[in-house]
């Protein structure tokens, strides 16, 4: 097979898969239209949702029909990354339409809000006092779908290795069961179960049904969008905060750990490195915030404990709900929240950040390296960790892959902080806000606003996108698109063995762990 023909065949399979995602997302975009039955006054905004929904369905159906002959193509992880990148960019652009149409936001602000929603960040440039129910629900729905991941949504409609490739490309390499479709559906069942239980709990705790649905979606997706400018602090309710805490923690858990939790397999849950790290870090962080920050600000003991616990959980799970402002916090309190936001949540979960498993592994590696230096050179020392039900050993490739990811994350963070500082913001505010953006958290000290400089706005937008999709997926996918474009348009007539090429792709594209 000639190289051009080979690439044409591979990208036909890619575009067919993208078409499936766009059709499903288009149907989801039309969901806010159902609110017109209960709120007829919102009918004036029907066009703002009906048009992008219709265009997404038509575009997706067109791609599926044009490339229907390649719909059963087995795609690699690298090609799955291209699907994820294309799908996310297209969906984000179409999702910005309602914000431009209803809220009259300029393109840059509308894209920012769309990216913040789909990446489950929660930073916002929308005036919530002017936003109607349709827009508020659309923001929450984006986070709910973004938390599950377009890959998981698509996997429920795809069978075979293609689904695995797409899932791995979006950072969700663990499966609950061997079958891809069943695994995806179990994830959606667990995720939807969280939302239903959360909605009922919020309603019982004192929220209106509309607020309960929106905040349940935002909590389980660790997104943080609220229907109120003061976020959860609007209610000043111990009951509502008590509902939010377990929902945020459940959203922080990997879906595999949640599956063990649902099935009562506590042994697999308690020996998980992320769970152990969470069990140590959260009490320590809560105690430190209480004694060194909150106790000196809030006069009542109960209020100080509530604030310390809630803000620590919100930061580390990357949810972004808040009960107070940070204007009167001392430097220690904001610095600790920055560290928690950078650490982030669990792998294969809805949370962002560097991820707790990588930090846990780095901690283990630190002592492992010390131990190794104390042993003879000929000694063999292995580093075991638990992944689900299996005890595996971390190899050099996994350590190298993890080191590259952490370096890319921190280098991007430092660059982003410098950009915000160059825009006139203080170092402390810049460090906090960019940690929130790249960690897809949503907590803010006031930097993110409609009037912020374009450089800062787009820096945060890109940070949210990179933080959600994993740096290597975006970089490798862009490089692959550029390389394949040069090979195709360069007119190469080199022959390609399709079977050998696919095997090579599968061999080199397999993601290193962790």
Mean pLDDT by 10 residues, the chain (514 residues): 83 91 93 93 94 97 90 78 91 97 97 97 95 96 85 51 48 54 78 94 97 97 95 97 97 87 86 90 97 94 97 97 95 97 90 92 87 76 73 80 92 98 97 97 96 97 92 88 88 57 46 40
471 Cβ neighbours under 8 A, 6+ residues apart: 405, 408, 409, 412
**How far is residue 358's CA from residue 406's CA, in Å, rounded to a whole number?**
8
What are residue 384's DSSP bridge partners?
393
Residue 39 region by backbone torsions, left for phi larger than 0, else alpha for psi between -120 and 50, else beta: beta
**How far is residue 454's CA from residue 199's CA, in Å, rounded to a whole number?**
37
- Residue 197's Cβ-side half-sphere holds a number of Cα atoms within 13 Å equal to 14
**How far is residue 278's CA from residue 252's CA, in Å, rounded to a whole number?**
10
**How far is residue 271's CA from residue 388's CA, in Å, rounded to a whole number?**
9
The residue count of the chain comes to 514
Q: Are 253 and 346 in contact (CB under 8 A)?
A: yes
**How far is residue 175's CA from residue 363's CA, in Å, rounded to a whole number?**
26
CA angle 50, 231, 262 (to 5 degrees): 80
**How far is residue 223's CA from residue 311's CA, in Å, rounded to a whole number?**
14
What global pTM score does this model have?
A: 0.90
**How far is residue 461's CA from residue 166's CA, in Å, rounded to a whole number?**
23
If DSSP codes are grouped into helix, strand and coil, which group holds residue 495?
strand
373 Cβ neighbours under 8 A, 6+ residues apart: none
**How far is residue 150's CA from residue 170's CA, in Å, rounded to a whole number?**
9
Looking at the chain, the number of H-run helices and the number of E-run strands are 23, 2
Burial class (CB in 10 A: 0-12, 13-18, 19+), 252: buried
């Amino acid at each position: 097979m000639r190289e051009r023909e080979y690439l044409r065949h591979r990208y036909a399979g890619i575009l067919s898969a993208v078409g499936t995602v766009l059709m499903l997302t288009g149907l989801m975009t039309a969901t806010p239209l159902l609110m017109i039955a209960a709120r007829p006054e919102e009918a004036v905004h029907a066009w703002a949702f009906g048009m992008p929904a219709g265009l997404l369905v038509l575009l997706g159906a067109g791609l599926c029909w044009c490339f229907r002959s390649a719909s059963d193509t087995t795609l690699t992880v690298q090609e799955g990354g291209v699907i994820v990148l294309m799908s996310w960019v297209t969906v984000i652009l179409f999702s910005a339409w309602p914000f431009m149409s209803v809220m009259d936001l300029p393109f840059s602000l509308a894209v920012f809000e769309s990216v913040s929603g789909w990446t489950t960040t929660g930073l916002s440039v929308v005036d919530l006092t002017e936003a109607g129910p349709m827009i508020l629900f659309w923001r929450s729905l984006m986070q709910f779908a973004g938390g599950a991941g377009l890959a998981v949504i698509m996997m429920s409609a795809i069978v075979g290795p293609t689904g695995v490739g797409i899932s791995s490309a979006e950072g969700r390499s663990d499966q609950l069961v061997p079958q891809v479709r069943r695994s995806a559906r179990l994830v959606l069942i667990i995720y939807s179960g969280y939302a239903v239980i959360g909605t009922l709990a919020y309603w019982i705790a004192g929220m209106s049904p509309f607020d309960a649905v929106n905040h349940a979606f935002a909590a389980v997706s660790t997104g943080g969008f609220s229907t109120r400018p003061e976020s959860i602090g609007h209610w000043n309710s111990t009951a509502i905060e008590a509902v939010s805490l377990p929902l945020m923690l459940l959203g922080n858990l990997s879906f595999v750990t949640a599956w063990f939790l649902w099935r009562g397999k506590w042994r697999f849950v308690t020996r998980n490195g992320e769970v152990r790290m969470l069990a140590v870090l959260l009490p320590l962080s809560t105690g430190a915030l209480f004694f060194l920050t909150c106790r000196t600000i809030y006069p009542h003991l109960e209020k100080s404990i509530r604030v310390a616990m809630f803000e620590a959980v919100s930061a580390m799970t990357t949810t972004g709900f808040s009960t107070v402002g940070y204007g009167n916090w001392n430097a220690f309190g904001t610095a600790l929240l920055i560290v928690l936001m950078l650490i982030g949540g669990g792998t294969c979960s809805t949370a962002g950040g560097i991820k707790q498993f990588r930090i846990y592994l780095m901690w283990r590696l630190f002592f492992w390296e010390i131990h190794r230096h104390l042993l003879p050179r000929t000694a063999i020392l292995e580093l075991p960790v638990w992944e689900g039900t299996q005890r595996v050993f971390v190899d050099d490739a996994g350590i190298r892959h993890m080191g590259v990811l952490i370096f890319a994350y921190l280098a991007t963070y430092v660059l982003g902080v410098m950009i915000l500082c160059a825009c006139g913001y203080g170092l402390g505010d810049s460090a906090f806000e960019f940690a929130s953006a790249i960690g897809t958290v949503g907590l803010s000290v006031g930097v993110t606003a409609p009037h912020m400089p374009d450089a800062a706005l787009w820096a945060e937008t890109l940070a949210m996108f990179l933080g959600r999709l994993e740096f290597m997926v975006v970089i490798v996918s862009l490089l692959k698109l550029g390389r394949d474009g040069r090979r195709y348009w360069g007119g190469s007539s080199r022959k390609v063995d399709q079977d050998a090429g696919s095997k090579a792709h599968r061999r080199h594209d397999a993601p290193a762990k962790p």
